[in-house]
Chain A
């Protein structure tokens, strides 16, 4: 005879606590929506209007695709896009190379490495506005230390750093490298130090010499970190403007006017908010395109190192 079992209890429709995780992500979601999505949508919206500050948005005339059509044939937009691309090429190439090289050099626990490491990351802690101010004074033609020491040590004539198109471009590239190489440096060194030491030792035993070890073992193993670093720098190139705004204001001419600074100037100097919004849509499209391209070529989330 089988024992009497109690009547079965129905399976609960929802597990208790079913809503808990959603409750936790709601605030973050709201902030994201308000802080991120809303401005993007507004930018799209505004790009179809001709709006000036001081006028009610309702009164702004709808202009359809006019802003976009104008952008396509606007030599200024193409000029600053070219400046941005050149700026991105030089800064990112040099920052990645220098950052990775420094990380490889200071990875070993040699004497004083930790002091160096700390000094190297100091620029990262300085706010971009302050960076702009510091370097504006350093590059200043009359009172700047750079001209002073170039003259005192090397006998080089004072240069009008920020008043010459090529020198100014050099100056902003230099400043960007000064500020952002440490960023590459710390994330690469963190990646290198997290590498399993036995894998590196295995390559030593397999006969890899110093540079084979770096290029065939270490760097491939931190590939996803390198990709993320590259991506963040690329996006920053299209985002950053404070340093240029303060150092040169984009000049002389448009030689140091990056895309986002151009958008800023259009919007707040020349009051063409609708047109500026259209250019920001272009910026969003470019950044989105680059990110997608990089992420599909080398997905850092997928190729998790698994030893």
Chain B
């Protein structure tokens, strides 16, 4: 298949194994985002695709071609770095056209591609400027532009937005998604920010300690996290995990613990029946708490509110459910006063259960 494939790729630096064994197929035209805490090996993986790091073992295929031992410039890739890595002594136009000039493309073609890319990124007025005379956002665009003019088969991004302020970052996210639509190229994007992953990815690859934890669409990984790591990493504020126990009472299965007793939803009945253990970890997403019961699935929970944060139409609560610290995001409208202790409601149909020992989802 074309696209990008990693087959049993591993990477060690001396005795330190960063990537033990990683396999992944990325379809042509797909936007794949690697996400995980810093130090988990995302950049290393990306740099192996780029050819900036040699694999210790395994195989890398780009567009049906085994490129495992091929030099970066012969891999038909373009890469955007976190620091932008612009050439400080060249102006914007020279920065963007450097690769084409090295490849000795005809002058007319270089100018045309430069014009199109500068137009797309609204860089035309700045073509004569040096990077040091540009703002952070503009430099970022130049870095993008430098890869766009290449029209490479694969675009690689290593945390390209993390040096921008929050507002610029969110608008660049949108632009990147648009860019992907326009260029229709395979893109591999690395970030530690799950929001970037959720908003841009066709597929998300969640990594931890060099291992892939889960691969799936944003919807998949949010709705059906495979283990506690994915469950807590994806979603903001993050999911609360509480030790709990399964019990049967009059045909209904309950998951209960200190200070709560919630019915297990139909979605999980089968899994719960098959579970060998009664000790489980209960996962509650903050956004599934509400001030009032909206459906039959909502169950009352008593919360002791320690801090409530006003965030517009919702409020984030740092609260206690029995002895357990939890986070709740309660939608109450912008007019509401800060929330206090009381009975709140949890949508039990959205609860998650994990095997306490294996940390895998039930």
Q: Taking beta carbons and an 8 Å cutoff, which residues of A are in contact with B?
A: 196, 198-199, 201-208, 212, 216-217, 220-221, 223, 304-307
Q: For residue A206, which residues in chain B have a CB less than 8 angstroms away from its CB? A: 73, 98-99, 102, 146, 150
Within 8 A of A (CB), among B81-104: 81-89, 98-99, 102-103
| Cβ–Cβ < 8 Å partners of A198 in chain B | 81-83, 85
Closest to B47 in A: A201
- Report the minimal beta-carbon distance from B87 to chain A, rounded to whole angstroms: 6
User: Is B50 in the interface zone, CB < 8 Å from A?
Assistant: yes
The answer to whether residues A205 and B50 also contact, given A221-B89, A223-B89 and a CB cut-off of 8 A, is yes
Partner of A307, one of B73, B78, B79, B131: B131
Q: Is B311 an interface residue (CB 8 A)?
A: no
Contact in complex: A306, B85 (CB < 8 Å): no
B102 touches A307 (CB 8 A): no
Residues of B within 8 A of A202 (CB): 79, 81, 85-87, 146
B77 adjacent to chain A (CB < 8 Å): yes
Interface positions of B from 112 to 159, Cβ below 8 Å from A: 131-132, 146, 150
Closest 3 CB pairs of A and B: A306-B132, A207-B73, A206-B99
Q: Is the CB–CB distance between A217 and B87 below 8 Å?
A: yes
Given the known interface contacts A198-B81, A307-B83, the answer about A205 and B73 at a Cβ–Cβ threshold of 8 Å is yes
Q: From residue A305, how far is it (CB to closest CB) to chain B in Å?
A: 5
Measured in the bound complex, the distance between the Cα atoms of B99 and A221 in whole Å is: 17
Q: Which residues does chain A contribute within 8 Å of B88, judged by CB atoms?
A: 199, 221, 305-307
> Is B52 interfacial (CB-CB < 8 Å)?
yes
Give the distance in Å from the alpha carbon of A307 to the alpha carbon of B99 in the complex.
18
**B83 and A196 form a contact (CB under 8 A):** yes
A196: chain B residues at CB < 8 Å are 83, 85
Given the known interface contacts A196-B83, A306-B132, A307-B88, the answer about A207 and B103 at a Cβ–Cβ threshold of 8 Å is yes
Report whether A199 and B102 are in contact in the complex, using a CB–CB cutoff of 8 Å: no
Give complex CA distance A204, B50 in Å.
Answer: 10
Known: A217-B87, A306-B131, A306-B132. A203 touches B77 (CB 8 A): no
Could you tell me the distance between the alpha carbons of A304 and B89 in the complex, rounded to whole angstroms?
Answer: 10
Is B72 an interface residue when CB atoms closer than 8 A count as contact? Answer: yes
**Mask of B57-92 contacts with A, CB within 8 angstroms, 1/0:** 000000000000000110001110111111111000
Q: What's the Cα separation between A216 and B87 when bound, in Å?
A: 10
B84, B89, B103: most-surrounded residue (chain A CB, <10 A): B89
Please, how many angstroms separate the alpha-carbon atoms of A305 and B132 in the complex? 8
- Which residues of B lie under 8 Å from residue A208 when comparing CB positions? 73, 98, 102
CA distance A306 to B133 in the complex (A): 9
Indicate if the CB atoms of B102 and A207 lie closer than 8 Å.
yes
On chain A, the residues within 8 Å of B84 by CB distance are: 307
Chain A residues in 8 Å Cβ range of B99: 205-207
Q: What are 25 contact pairs spanning A and B, CB under 8 A?
A: A198-B82, A198-B83, A198-B85, A199-B88, A201-B81, A202-B79, A202-B81, A202-B87, A203-B87, A204-B72, A205-B52, A205-B79, A205-B99, A206-B73, A206-B102, A207-B99, A207-B102, A208-B102, A212-B102, A216-B98, A220-B89, A223-B89, A306-B132, A307-B84, A307-B85
Query: B77 — which chain A residues lie within 8 A by C-beta?
Result: 205
Note all chain A residues with C-beta closer than 8 A to B146: 202, 206
A212: chain B residues within 8 A (beta carbon): 102
Query: Measured between alpha carbons, how far is A31 from B58 in the docked complex, in Å?
Result: 66
Contacts of A203 in B (CB 8 A): 87, 98
Shortest C-beta distance, B177 to chain A (Å), equals: 23
Residues of A within 8 A of B78 (CB): 205
Within the complex, the shortest CB–CB distance from A306 to chain B, in Å, comes to 3
